[in-house]
A and B are shown apart, each in its own frame.
Chain A
Amino acid sequence: MKLAVMSCIHGNYEALNAVLSDIDAQKAEQIYCLGDLVGYGPDPNAVVEMIRSLAIPTCQGCWDEDIVEGLNACECSYPSQLAEQRGRIAHEWTNDVIHPEVREYLATLPMTLRKDNLCFVHGSPNSQHEYLLPSMDGFAVLERLLSADADVLFCGHTHVPYDRRLEDAALSVKVGAADNGEPLQQLQVPLKRIVNAGSVGEPRHGRPNATYVIYDTDTTQVTLREVPYDYHKTCEAIIEKGLPPIFAWRLARGVEFAERADDPSHVCER
């Protein structure tokens, strides 16, 4: 069975439409969405309506949570003072235009979705705000995977897609005092995998194209998809609707600054 997993749409309706068309062309049978439906982009209501009308199972992203509960970020939320100021502008704009029923819908989204041995989260199983970076320490990633009780963990939030395998994972556990002569207990962990779906509406990979992933449950094959779309329309809408023009400039170059994605050892304290 082919699954399509997408994340971080960020109010970009043009990109969402292009990705949905590509998913159709790929003949995926089920779509999962990892959240961040709103924020930065000009069409948050339209994006949420589309996701709802297609009944796509969706996790709550950090931006969705912020719109429901207000800004309350840990220091990891922004890479700089400038990004933080702009994030606040985007949050306030979105907060002003969001329809009440859309806000209610965002409040109902779960943090985690599951299907058999697969788990779907926005940031990490711990928090929508925590980054699972490709360079994150293997032990820390394994801990997140074990806590999710899944063989494959799908996440987003970094806006850069990747497919990371943790092979032949072995944990050594010593029980009791260090010098009591008890042998080490070994825990053999089967192959684990973490798949980041990238971002549909705010890519950070240096090109404006939307990204998502296709996962084949029969073959376990992961395909990272990159979908061109008419990003000029989104850029025009950003400016027309009064969002900062710099959002359009960054979107057109695939250099959305997302949040602090430069410290793989940071544990989000939100």
Chain B
Amino acid sequence: MSDTPNITVVAGPPGIGKTTWISQFLSAAGLGYLYPGAGAEAVDRLRIGYRFPQVSVIEEEAALALLSDLPESGRVYIELGFHIDLAMLPLNGLPCRRVAVVPPNLAESEWHSWADEVIIGNNIETPQAGRLPSLWRAPLTGQVFDPPSLDELLIELTGGAYGQVIRLKGIFELPDGQAFYVDFAEGIPGLEYTELKLPRWLEGRPSRLSSLEVVGYDLQQTMIKETLLLTCLSDEILAQYQRQYQEHYGLEGLSETKGAVA
């Protein structure tokens, strides 16, 4: 039997690279992933599910029972959002390995005190104690975006047009049927776009989940929401795009998923 606990809990500031650190271990079979307190449309939860279909993304309601009775061969990675109070974790009673991912210039913090192991992550600014940023999430399921409009919005958002954004991540559906993961952390130059290897959705509005999360200060949430809506395609324009892409890719590849082309 291994001395390493089967449960690894990972914490750290927003944008530090917690999900990236966890992802390196998720290629193996029989693994579980849990992101407590974040809801079904948390971007990291969706991203892990899309990128690692063999990983079991654990529902929060079932988590405590499942973790308490974890088989010896089972391994679970738990990611803690920055808004979770480490002292108040219901999981604290479980045997686990606590990993803190922290920036290189941070020598002391609550994450250091809490962790069994400290990993150096991205070189970002840590939010000041007593001034926690706010998290705003927009469920986007069914929305398909005009790509140049989405680019403009993301540049404006991350450039501070709607408040100071320290972290942004989202999963966006595009009219060619592809879904993209977009990632931004203040202090790291540029926006990172990663194509998710999902079947092209070329018939109607996608029913698979997508979402946007923005973390920052003084966020003008109403204005972000209004602008986000201006970047979404109408039914009519989406149908025009999909007709063009269906002709381009052919319809013979329709997969079992309704509306998706493999």
A83 touching B149, Cβ below 8 Å: yes
A245 to chain B, nearest CB (A): 8
**B207 contacts the other chain (Cβ, under 8 Å)?**
no
Bitwise, A220-250 to B at CB < 8 A (1) or not (0) is 0000000000000000000000000110011
Task: Give min CB distance, A202 to chain B, whole Å.
Answer: 15
**Which residues between 80 and 139 of chain A lie within 8 Å of chain B, taking CB atoms?**
80-83, 85-86
Distance in angstroms between the alpha carbons of A246 and B156 in the assembled complex: 9
Please give me the residue from chain A that is nearest to B153 by CB atom. Answer: A82
Encode contact with A along B133-152: 1 for CB under 8 Å, 0 otherwise: 00000000000001011011
Q: Which residues of A sit under 8 angstroms from B223, Cβ to Cβ?
A: 245
Q: A85-B230, A246-B156, A257-B152 are in contact. Are A80 and B146 (CB under 8 A)?
A: yes
B232 to chain A, nearest CB (A): 9
- How many residues belonging to A are interface residues under a CB distance threshold of 8 Å? 14
Is B159 touching A82 in the complex (CB atoms < 8 A)? Answer: no
A82 touches B161 (CB 8 A): no
B240 proximal to A (CB < 8 A): no
B151 to chain A, nearest CB (A): 8
Q: What residues of B have a CB within 8 angstroms of the CB of A255 in the complex?
A: 155
Chain B nearest Cβ from A222, distance in angstroms:
32
Residues of A within 8 A of B233 (CB): 81
Q: How far is the CA of A245 from the CA of B222 in the complex (A)?
A: 13
Interface size on B, residues (CB 8 A): 16
CB-CB under 8 A from B159, the residues of chain A are 249, 253
Q: How far is the CB of B145 from chain A (nearest CB, A)?
A: 9
Beta-carbon nearest neighbor of A82 in chain B = B149
Q: Is the CB of B152 within 8 A of A83?
A: yes
Residue in A81, A86, A245, A257 whose Cβ sees the most chain B Cβ within 10 Å = A81
Expressed in whole angstroms, the minimum distance between the Cβ of A68 and any Cβ of chain B is: 27
In the complex, which of the residues B152, B231, B237 has the most CB atoms of chain A within 10 Å of its own CB atom? B152
- Complex Cα distance A255/B155, Å? 11
Known: A246-B161, A249-B161. A81 touches B156 (CB 8 A): no
Residue pairs across A and B with Cβ atoms less than 8 A apart, 23 shown, are A80-B146, A80-B149, A80-B152, A80-B231, A81-B230, A81-B233, A81-B237, A82-B148, A82-B149, A82-B152, A82-B227, A82-B230, A83-B149, A85-B230, A246-B156, A246-B161, A246-B227, A249-B156, A250-B156, A250-B161, A253-B159, A255-B155, A257-B152
A interface residues with partner B (beta carbon < 8 Å) = 79-83, 85-86, 245-246, 249-250, 253, 255, 257
Instruction: Give 16 new A-B contacts, CB below 8 A, not counting A80-B152, A82-B231, A246-B161.
Output: A80-B149, A80-B151, A81-B146, A81-B230, A81-B233, A82-B146, A82-B148, A82-B227, A82-B230, A86-B230, A245-B223, A246-B227, A249-B156, A249-B159, A249-B161, A253-B159
